[in-house]
Amino acid sequence: MSVPLRPAHPERWFRARPDSSVLSRPRLLARCLIDAAELDDHIGSYERLLGVPADLRMPIPDFGGLELAAVGNLLLIASARPFTPIQRQTSLSLIVPSLDRQLELLGATGTTVLEPPEPILPGARARVRFPDGTVAELVEHRPWPGEKPRSADSSSAVPRVGTPTGRVRLLVQRTVHEDDFLRTVRLYEALLQATATAPPRLTGARTAALTAIVGNLLLVGLPALPSIPPPEAALIVPATRRSGLPTLFPAPMVPASTDGVMLPGGLTAEVWAEHDSAAGAHHRQQVSQALSTLLAGNDTWTVEDQSWPLS
């Protein structure tokens, strides 16, 4: 299939950063699959929640009839057609500086290539399975001829609704058993080319045994995994504002479980209250020191690490 040189709908197309080669590391995004008719509404909802404008919108009808938009650390994937099984199985998207280089780096971790690189209008893409069984899509962004950086604020395609709230953050969340926590940290440090840090003091509906942030990913280690699928994302909210969170949407958020909510488009998220105080800073320092000690002397992940349960 030939790749068009220009978008079919340039009036709806914008990217604040058309060339991902300027990135210092992969940009990790949670994924939310929605109907094409809902895209504008969901862009507005997440702009209100996260307090940031969409930084890309790409209609690519020649590639499965998709239209994509990114708000913060979330990629909205809209289609007028049914999504394929592999699209539904793919839980992460990464915008990478160089697709060839990224696949070379991932090869050293034991990552499997499910779909080899192919050119698309935004640049190039591939689909992979990480050693822990997570399926991810990798995309290299390159400008089409004549494309300039363009933001949502300079486009009439995305209506801005409401007032930005600020300080609410959405991260990808990965929940594992506490016995697998350290090797999961090492794995995602290698996959995302980012160093793990301890988050501020977070409290939620359940007590996490261990937490760490790697890039845009919150890793949670629990003494026992829940029987239901864990939330796909983490919504980190200032502790003083948590009770008012549902009012940020036209309709209240739907509780997905005792420890999560369902956000617009069906994305499940665990809500964490962030305690920004002297006590919280002291807690973060303690956890950072403990995390550094645990990882000391073995802070890189290799294929020779223990085998991964894929269930």
Query: Tokens representing 67?
Result: 């239209």
- Calculate the alpha carbon distances from 45 to 5, 68, 76, 217, 255 in Å: 32, 15, 12, 22, 17
In 138-209, which residue ranges form alpha helices assigned H by DSSP?
181-192
Residue 236's H or E segment, with its range, is strand 233-238
pLDDT at 54: 97
Predicted local confidence at residue 59, as pLDDT: 95
Nearest to 308 by CA among 215, 212, 213, 177: 177
Higher model confidence: residue 180 or residue 283? 180
What DSSP character marks residue 307?
Answer: P
Cβ atoms of 67 and 79 within 8 Å: the answer is: yes
Q: What is the pLDDT confidence band of residue 162, given thresholds at 50, 70 and 90?
A: very low
Mean pLDDT computed over 105-130: 96
**117 with 76: CB under 8 angstroms?**
no
**Band (144; pLDDT cuts 50, 70, 90):** very high
Structure pTM?
Answer: 0.84
Structure tokens at 274: 């962030």
Region 277-282 average pLDDT: 49
Q: At 6, is the pLDDT very low, low, confident or very high (cuts 50, 70, 90)?
A: confident
Looking at the predicted structure, is the pLDDT value of residue 164 above 50?
A: no
Confidence band for 64, pLDDT divided at 50, 70 and 90? confident
Q: Is the pLDDT of residue 159 over 90?
A: no
